Amino acid sequence: MKLTVKFNLIFIAIFGLGLLATGLIARRFLFQNARDQTIQQARLILEAGRATRTYTAERIRPVLDRYQREKDAFFPESVPAFSAIRSLSYLHQAYPDYMYREPALNPTNPADRALDWEADVINLFRNETSLKEYVSERDTPSGRSLFLAKPMPAVASCMVCHSTPQVAPPAMVKIYGPTNGFGWKLNEIVAAQIVSVPMSIPNGVASRAFWNLMLWLGGVAALSLVLLNLTLLVAVIRPVGRMSSAADEISKGNLGVPELPVQGRDEISILADAFNRMHRSLAKAMKMLEE
Ligand code: HEC
C-alpha cells in the first residue's frame, strides 16, 4: 500500500471518529437546549395563568362580589380558573399548539374534565405529594408536545364554591348545577395547571443548527485533509521519491546522478545528506578501483 493511501486512511479514520464524537455531543447539547427553552416557555405561560388567577382573586372578585350579592347574580368572570383559562384561550387561538388547561377530576365546568393523560398527571400529584412540578412529552396529531404541570390543592378560600352546593353561592349552583365540582377536600390535590408547548419548532431549530454545524465541520475536515496531503507530499513523499529513484540509478551503476537537495535539519534532510555522502564515497571507491 502506498504511503499516501496509508496516511489518508489514518487521517480519515481520525477525522471520522472526531466528527462522530463531536456530532454526538453537539446533538445532545442542542436538543437538550431546545428542551430547556421549551420548558422555559411553558413555565412563562403557566406563570401568566397564575398571574391572571391572582389578579382575578385580588382585583376582580371584590368588585364583582358586591354587585353579585346585591343582585343575587353570579359572574364566572369573578372565578380565577375561569379568567385564567379564558384569557389564555386567546393565546391558544393565535398559537393553536400552545395550550393552558386546569383540568380537574371532578370539575365544575364539564369542559375542564381531565382527559386520560391529564388524570394520570393529577393522580401522580395526589400519590406523590412532594412533587411540585412535572415535565413530560407526548405525541399529538400536530407533532411532539412538551407539557409542564403543577398541582392545584384545594385551600380554604376554594371551599366557598367547591365544598357543597349548600355552601356555594346559590346563583352559581343555578348556572353550574349541584352535581359537579363539589366535595373537594381541604388540602387535597383536586386539579392541575397544565401547559402544553410544541416541540416541533425548537427541535427543528436544533436539527438545522446540528446539520449546519456538521456541514461546516465536514468542510473543515476535508480542507484539513487536503492541506495534510499537500504537506505530506512536499515534506515526505517527494523527497523520498527522489531518493529512491537516485538509489535506483546508482544501483544500476549510473553514479553520475546529481546529488539530492538538502534543506533544513529534519529527519528527511539528514537522510538525504547521509545518502549524498554515501553516494560520494561509493563514487570515490569505484574511481579507486578503476585506477
Ligand atoms: C366564587 C366561587 C369559586 C371559588 C372561590 C373558587 N372557584 Fe374554582 N371554580 C368556580 C367555578 C364557577 C368554576 C367553573 C368556571 C368555568 O366555567 O370555567 C371553577 C373552576 C375551577 C377549576 C377548573 C376545573 C373546573 O372545576 O371546572 C379549578 C381547577 C378550580 N376552579 C380550582 C379552584 C381553586 C384551587 C380554588 C381556590 C384557590 C377555587 N377554584 C376557588 C368557582 C369557584
SS3 breakdown of the chain: % helix, strand, coil, rounded to 5? 65, 10, 25
Listed in sequence order, the residues at least 6 apart from 176 whose beta carbon sits closer than 8 Å to its beta carbon are 108, 109
- Do both 146 and 261 map to the same domain? no
Helix residue ranges, H only, 116-257: 116-127, 159-162, 170-176, 200-232, 238-251
| 5: in domain | no
Q: Are residues 96 and 188 in the same domain?
A: yes
Distance 180 CA to ligand 1 centre (A): 11
Confidence at residue 69, expressed as pLDDT on a 0 to 100 scale: 87
d(CA 270, CA 243): 12
Q: Is residue 174 located within the same domain as residue 81?
A: yes
Say if residue 235 is in the same domain as residue 265: yes
- Taking the centre of ligand 1 as the mean of its atom positions, its distance from the CA of residue 167, in whole angstroms, is 14
| Residues whose CB falls within 8 Å of the CB of residue 240, separated by 6 or more in sequence, listed in order | 3, 268
- Report the separation in Å between the CA atom of 111 and the middle of ligand 1, taken as the mean of its atom positions: 12
Instruction: Check whether residue 67 and residue 195 sit in a common domain.
Output: yes
Choosing from 161, 178, 202, the residue where a domain stops is 202
Q: Angle 238-251/267-290 helices, nearest 10 degrees?
A: 10
Residue in this structure with the C-alpha cell 425548537, named with its chain if needed: 202
What Rg value do the Cα atoms of the chain yield, rounded? 39
Relative to the CA of 175, which ligand 1 atom is closest?
A: 12
Report the distance separating Cα 152 and Cα 46, nearest Å: 12
Question: Helices (H), strands (E): how many in the chain?
Answer: 9, 4
Q: Starting at the earlier edge strand, list the strands of the sheet with 189-198.
A: 99-101, 189-198, 143-153, 134-140
Ligand 1 centroid – CA 81 distance (Å): 5
Q: Which grid coordinates belong to 33?
A: 437546549
C-alpha cell at 132: 411540585
User: What's the confidence (pLDDT) of residue 252?
Assistant: 94
Beta-strand relationship, 189-198 and 134-140: unpaired
Domain end position, chosen among 181, 202, 223: 202
261 with 121, same domain: the answer is no
Residue 86 resides in a domain = yes
Phi-psi region of 278 (alpha: psi -120 to 50; beta: other; left: phi over 0): alpha
Collapsed DSSP state (helix, strand, coil) of residue 259: coil
What's the domain range around 70? 11-202
> What is the number of structural domains in the chain?
2
Residue (of 277, 278, 271, 269) closest to 251 by Cα position: 278
CA of 191, closest atom in ligand 1: 29
Ligand 1 atom closest to Cα of residue 53: 38
With a cut of 90, say whether residue 63 has pLDDT above it.
Answer: yes
- Ligand 1 lining (C-beta closer than 6 Å): 76, 79, 81-82, 85, 102, 104, 107-109, 112, 152, 154-155, 157-158, 160-162, 172, 176, 181, 191
Looking at residue 221, which CATH number applies to its domain? Answer: 1.10.8.500
Distance 2 CA to ligand 1 centre (A): 80
Please, which pLDDT band fits residue 263 given cuts at 50, 70 and 90? confident
CA distance linking residue 127 with residue 192, whole number of Å:
13
pLDDT band at 105 (very low <50, low <70, confident <90, very high): very high
pTM for this structure? Answer: 0.85
Checking phi first, is residue 230 left (phi over 0); if not, alpha (psi -120 to 50) or beta?
alpha
Same domain as 271, residue 177:
no
pLDDT digits (tens, 9 = 90+) for 136-178: 999 999 999 999 999 999 999 999 999 999 999 999 999 999 9
278 plus 220 within the same structural domain: yes
Q: Does residue 56 fall inside a structural domain?
A: yes
Q: Which of 158, 32, 142, 63 is nearest to 102 (CA)?
A: 158
Nearest ligand 1 atom to the CA of 153 is: 35
What value does the mean pLDDT take over residues 270-280?
95
Assess if residue 1 is contained within a domain.
no
Q: Place 61 in a pLDDT band, splitting at 50, 70 and 90.
A: very high
Residue 161 lies in a domain: yes
Please tell me the residue having the least CA distance from ligand 1 atom 33: 158
- In-domain check, residue 280: yes
Residues 198 and 216 in one domain: no
Strands 143-153 and 134-140: antiparallel
Lowest-confidence segment of 53-57, 68-72, 117-121, 179-183 by average pLDDT: 68-72
Neighbour tally for 162: CB within 10 Å: 21
Specify whether 229 is located in the same domain as 97: no
| Short-list 73, 2, 77, 4, CA closest to 230 | 4
One-letter amino acid at 158 equals: C
